[in-house]
Amino acid sequence: MRIVLSGGGTGGHIYPAVAVARQLESEDDKSVFLYIGGKRGLESKLVPQENLPFKAIDITGFRRKLSMDNVKTVMRFLKGVKASKAMLREFKPDVVIGTGGYVCGPVVYAASRLGIPTLIHEQNAIPGLTNRFLSRYADTVAVSFEGTEPAFPGAKNVIYTGNPRATTVMTANPQRGFASLGIPEGSTVVLVVGGSGGAKAINRAMIEMAPFVGKGNGVHYVYVTGEAYFEETLKAVREKLGSLPNWLHILPYIHNMPEVLACTSLIVNRAGASFLAEITALGIPSVLIPSPNVTNNHQEANARQLEREGAAVVLLEKDLSGEALFAAVHKIIGADDARRSMSAASRRLGKRDSASLVVTELRRLAAGRKR
C-alpha cells in the first residue's frame, strides 16, 4: 500500500502520523510512504530523522482576528493545494491520512478533490480549526476520545480509535528507563515535566516544591525542565537545598521518554493529547496542569476527560504553587489504594491498540477505492 502522511506544527500532530507508519511497516514491509509537511514546521526536522521520505509545501495558519495576513494565508493555501495535487499525482497514493495542523488543510483537501480516500485523525477533545474544515471532505474522521464523535456533525464517517501514539509506548522497557535515570529498579518515580520545551510556570513550581521533597521517603523525583530552563532551575533548587539529594534528579530533556514513562509511578505534566495517550497506554496516574495558552482551551478539555474517569487530578495553572503541587502529588503517592485505582482507570482509557485500528480503517478505505 502507498500512503501519504501529513501533520505538522507540533510533536502532537507529527508523532501519531509516525506511529501509523510504523504500524503499517510492521504489518507489511512493502508499504511505501510520503510525508508532506510544512517548510517552517517541526516536521521538517523530525520526519527525516524517522527515515520517512519528506516533501514540503509553504503554508501558514489563519489568525483568529481580522488581519491582512489571512489574505496571504488564503493565497498560500491555494498554492499549497496546487503543489499537493502535483505531489499526489506523482506519488499515486492508495490513501492519505492527516493528523492535524494547518499543513493538512491543502494536502487532504487536494486528495479529496482527486478522488483519493482520506482519513483525518483528531487528537484533542476539542477539534482543531483545520480538522473541522477537513471533516466535510474526508472519508473518515478518527477521534482519540470516546464521546467526542458529535464534534464532527457534517462528517461522512466518524470512528473512535484512540491516539496512535499510544501503541508506540506499549512495549517500552522499564528496566532501561531506570538505568538511564540512574535509579534502582523498582523505585517509586515521580516524573515532573512541562513538555519538550519546558513550561515556565511548572518549572517555578518545581523550584518551590523542592524543599517539600527533601526528605525523599523512598520516592525519586525527576524534574525535566526543558533545555531553555535547565540552568536557572538547577541553580535555584541548589540555592534552596544547598545540594541535591540523591532522590532528586534534574534533567534538561529526556530522549528515551517511552522507557522513562514505563518506570514512572506518577507523572505531573501538561495535557497535550499525544502525551496523554502515552501515559494512559501505560496506566500511569497523573496530575495534569493544562496549558492555558492553547486554542479553545483544548488541553483543559483533554485533562477533564481523564479526571472524569478517575485517572488524573487536574490542577489549573492559576492555582499552581509548589505547595499545592506537592499536596496533589503526596495525596496520590502516599496512598497505595488511590494510586492503584487511578492506574487502573488510566489503563482502561489506554487499552486500545490505536495505531492498528487506524491502519485497519486505512486499509478499508484503500480497498474500497480499488473496487
> Parallel, antiparallel, or unpaired: how do β-strands 158-160 and 95-98 relate?
unpaired
Residues 6 or more apart in contact with residue 346 via CB below 8 angstroms: 279, 280, 282, 283, 284, 285, 286, 306, 311, 312
Cα-trace Rg, the chain: 21
Q: Is 299 annotated as a binding residue?
A: yes
Q: Is 10 annotated as a binding residue?
A: yes
Q: Is 61 annotated as a binding residue?
A: no
Q: Is 130 annotated as a binding residue?
A: no
Q: Is 154 annotated as a binding residue?
A: no
DSSP conformation class of 293 = S
Phi/psi at 140 (nearest 5 deg)?
-140, 140
DSSP conformation class of 272 = -
Gap between the Cα atoms of 331 and 333, Å rounded: 6
Q: Is 196 annotated as a binding residue?
A: yes
CB 224 within 8 A of CB 251: yes
Gap between the Cα atoms of 207 and 209, Å rounded: 5
How many other C-beta atoms lie within 10 A of the C-beta of residue 22? 17
How many other C-beta atoms lie within 10 A of the C-beta of residue 78? 11
- Retrieve residue 201's grid coordinates: 510556570
Binding residues for UDP-N-acetyl-alpha-D-glucosamine: 10-12, 124, 196, 254, 299
Enumerate the known binding-site residues.
10-12, 124, 196, 254, 299
